A and B are shown apart, each in its own frame.
Chain A
Amino acid sequence: MIPLSWYLTLSAALFSIGMFGVLARKNAVAILLGIELMLNAVNINLVSFWRYNNPVLMDGQVFAIIVFAVAAAEVAVGLALVISIYRRRNTVVADEIDLMKW
């Protein structure tokens, strides 16, 4: 049988990889890709906690579903912003979008 620790370690590793993507990538779309990885790590955690505590209580799965909804909303708004910025300033490199920087 697989102990819970395997799932938690995998999810921590996936979260860290996603975080590296968010911090290190230049392209704004690539940063959003990293955020997707982090959200997926959260989902793996939620579902494995559901399975390893008491499978009759559905809380973990419900939270996972809500994470899906949030992820979809985040991607829709995020990509709309990226496309809008690209139209106005002709760049998707996060460092060059510095109009609000003081």
Chain B
Amino acid sequence: MGKGKTLFWLIPALLIIILIPPVTGSVTTREGVFLILMYVTLAVSLNIILGYTGYVSFGHIVFYGIGGYVAFYLMKFHGIHLIPAMIMGGIGAAIAAFALGEAVLRLRGAFFAIATIGVNEAVKALVNNLNFIGGAEGLFFNFRIYNTYGGATKAIWFSYYTMAALTITTVIAAYLIKKSKFGLGLMAIREDEDAAIILGVNAKRYKSLAYAASALFPGMVGAVFFFKAGNIEPHDAFHLIKSIEMIFMVMLGGYGSVTGAVTGALVYERLKGFLLVNPLFKNLHMAISGVILLLIVLFMPQGIVGFIREKSKKLREMLE
């Protein structure tokens, strides 16, 4: 167990990526990097429950949607600033996860995965029918809201920096969790839940807390994303495909490793970008991603970073 060796290079590397758009002033690059940061945060968060604890949360996007709705509602109807609204959104998602966790985390393996899909679809159906938050049509911002931030252009830059700060925070938090007592308990649950319990790990509580932690940051991501978009609707907020993308990123990079989740997010963003602009593949990108996921699970279940960690003892501490 290295002492923070991973963060010493990972955080500067992320900062360099974050600084590219403001330095070049390119709006296109900013949009690309915003997407990367969003993916990184989602993948690193999902990794806490999927990679550390070994529970495949298939409908994880539900927390992004919940956080998005909570924050959007507060900003639109109560004029609350993005930052507190985002924090409230994150906390809302985390509380929802904790409560759900007490129920669905009793299930193991595929049953848990299916239950989480059900939760996502149920919440989507519920939101579709709640008129005070716009029902199926969703909610729109009045553009005056952006005046608080100095106009729409500045508001978008503001959301960019907020996302950047959120990403860095998430990566550091995920790393600290992994290195803590709590993280070791989670990994023990992943390896053998019965053995973990007999060794004194309060598995039920640990799992619920891990689920809450892995929902907190996606909730905040949802808040920032929908603030920037200016509208939110159930179909966007609880889009199951995004859930699958998150799992893909974690598995591609290497589950259980912070560096792995970050790598998976970066590679996926590039891959998706390539496939979407290529006329030959643009309608097939999910199919191709699916085939790649299958190949990873069959031949390299530890993912890219996990593979390198296995091969090189020297790099292991750098790639936690």
A and B together in one complex: no
